[in-house]
Amino acid sequence: MLKDLPLKIVEYLVEEIPPYSGLLMIKVDNRGVVKNWKGNPKEYLGGKLTENESIEELVPALNGICPFDKGSVKLTKLQLKNKYCDIHVVKENGHYWIIFIDQTREVDSLKSLLQNMNEEQLKGRGNKTNSKEMPFRHLDKLNFATFLRKDDGSFSLQPNTPGWIKKHAFYNKASGSIDPISTFPFLEIFILEVEEFWKENKESYVVSETWSETFAGKDHYLRAYATNLNNSNYLFLKSFIREGVEEQNLLQAFRDSSLAFDKLAKTEKKLKELLVYKNKFNSIISHDLRAPIAAVLGVVNVLTTDEEEIGKLNEDYQELIYGIKDEMNRLLDYNNKLYHWANLELGNFKLEFETISLDEIIKIATETAREKCNEKNIALTINVEAGLKVRVDKTLFLQALNNLLSNAIKFTPISNSIKITAKKDDDKAFISVVDTGIGMNDDMVKNLFKESTNNTTQGTSGEKGTGLGLGIIKKIIEAHKFKITVKSVPGKGTVFTIEIPESNLA
């Protein structure tokens, strides 16, 4: 229940509402309209809760308190349909959380105490001697052991002793006494504060922090209280096993989460370090591979462009040489993409913006793509609104367009068509690459930009991919703070659209 709550509310719960008991929390706006809730409304309000209901109608006790902007609200021991509750209203980020804190158990125990006291008063009307001699005689019902401080500084345990203290090994059954200070070392320090308080003879009380002791086979959470009444000094000890355990469980849950979060954060840090290492490794290797690949390609190009030389080889060898050329070009492309990918991941680039006409940059991109289009007999049409100028990093943006076009060609069957359009609409520019290819289903679209080389699919003519192309596009578009969207229909085609904001239009 607590894990989705805002931190401010969690802190409020821990600070203001220990020990933890049952909770219902309803989020409302400042007019008291229900927006959200945590916990079981039926248990507290006796019925279902629906969004946009008025909290005043649900909880008449809150009538007249809404709107809440008058400040924080705390109501105590209100009888709701099924429970007694304290109600706190806490403001958080423009909304209000109404926290219903179950006090039924406390009210029930107080009820019996008040009942006893009232009955006693009714029976002994006119005789107040007893209540003066033993003013706290009913507190045992709330698990309090009461001690009266004697003139010599020792403490006498008052009658009506709760069961828990009688179980302590230091309790003297014969005399019905126990010395609180030597029994509970915690009190050695607290009593110094209490002595000061008693000296001041104030009509108030002091409360210790919580401490725990193990006796009679049980962990007891204890708290001490001190007050004075009719010139007598009293010390009280209260054991609250259940509330203590609940408070411990709540804190335990928070701390377990915190430890798990720390572990995750450390793992994430390590993984990031490993990723940087991997990218550096890729960047270095792909950079160093460029020269030998280019050298081999150079030799192959010399061979294939020199008709006299290539003519000396028989057909099988010629095919082999052309095969080597294709594979080396693919290897170079793959290696270049790996190099760009690694450097984009490492952030080893700085955008150098320049103003360029969209017409010009699209023209450059389509010139590169034209050869591949011709190989598959794909008709490539361009429709760019005249006069559109954008501020981009020309090299990187061109790379993104090249990758988009390569991708479109790869997945468009032979003799189909691809269209690239650019237009201004509502102060933004949109570049779309529209293919009539195989398209994708929703799942594929959803995972399209995920950084995984497992998502590679062969093209319509068996073209192989690196799985890096779309990732590179995404990195470049994000670096420009542009947006890219995809629409696709299986069997019909795909549209990739780059949205360029007004700030990058010239």
Partner 1 sequence: MIKKKICMLGAFAVGKTSLVQRFVNSIFSEKYQTTIGVKIDQKLVQTGDTEVNLMLWDIHGEDNYQKVKPSYIMGASGYFVVVDVTREETLGVGLNLQKMANEMSKGAPFIVLINKTDLPQSEWYISETSINELKDKGLEIILTSAKEGTGVEEAFSRLTELMINK
Let me know: does 360 contact 396? Beta carbons within 8 Å: no
Regarding 193 and contact with partner 1 (CB under 8 A), the answer is yes
Regarding 319 and contact with partner 1 (CB under 8 A), the answer is no
Regarding 81 and contact with partner 1 (CB under 8 A), the answer is no
Min dist CB 416 to partner 1, Å, is 56
Let me know: does 184 contact 176? Beta carbons within 8 Å: no
Regarding 183 and contact with partner 1 (CB under 8 A), the answer is no
Closest CA to 329 of 353, 358, 354, 294: 294
Q: Which residues contact 116 (CB under 8 A, 6 or more apart)?
A: 138, 141
Let me know: does 382 contact 366? Beta carbons within 8 Å: yes
The pair of three-digit structure tokens given for residue 396, joined into one six-digit string: 């990187």
Min dist CB 262 to partner 1, Å, is 6
> Which of 1, 189, 229, 271 is the binder for partner 1 (CB under 8 A)?
189
Residues binding partner 1: what is the number (CB under 8 A)?
A: 30
Question: How many other C-beta atoms can be found within 10 angstroms of the C-beta atom of residue 273?
Answer: 10
Please, which contacts does 50-58 make with residues 24 or more away whose CB atoms are closer than 8 Å? 55/26, 55/28, 55/98, 56/32, 58/34
Regarding 82 and contact with partner 1 (CB under 8 A), the answer is no
Q: Which of these segments, 254-262, 325-333, 335-343, 397-405, binds partner 1 (CB under 8 A)?
A: 254-262
Regarding 212 and contact with partner 1 (CB under 8 A), the answer is yes
Regarding 221 and contact with partner 1 (CB under 8 A), the answer is yes
Regarding 259 and contact with partner 1 (CB under 8 A), the answer is yes
> Which of 254, 322, 349, 449 is the binder for partner 1 (CB under 8 A)?
254
Min dist CB 28 to partner 1, Å, is 26
Q: From CA 220, how far away is CA 446, in angstroms rounded? A: 55
Asked if residue 159 has a cis previous peptide bond (ω within 30° of 0), the answer is no
Helix residue ranges per DSSP H, 90-210: 104-123, 129-133, 163-166, 180-183, 186-200
Which is closer to partner 1, CB of 57 or CB of 273? 273
Q: Which of these segments, 43-51, 256-264, 292-300, 310-318, binds partner 1 (CB under 8 A)?
A: 256-264
The pair of three-digit structure tokens given for residue 22, joined into one six-digit string: 């049952």
Which is closer to partner 1, CB of 57 or CB of 188? 188
Regarding 501 and contact with partner 1 (CB under 8 A), the answer is no
Regarding 161 and contact with partner 1 (CB under 8 A), the answer is no
Min dist CB 253 to partner 1, Å, is 9
> Which of 119, 256, 326, 478 is the binder for partner 1 (CB under 8 A)?
256
Which is closer to partner 1, CB of 244 or CB of 493? 244
CB burial class (10 A; 0-12, 13-18, 19+) of residue 488?
Answer: buried
Contacts with partner 1, residue ranges (CB under 8 A): 11, 14-15, 184-186, 188-190, 192-193, 209-214, 221, 244, 247-248, 251-252, 254-256, 258-259, 262, 266
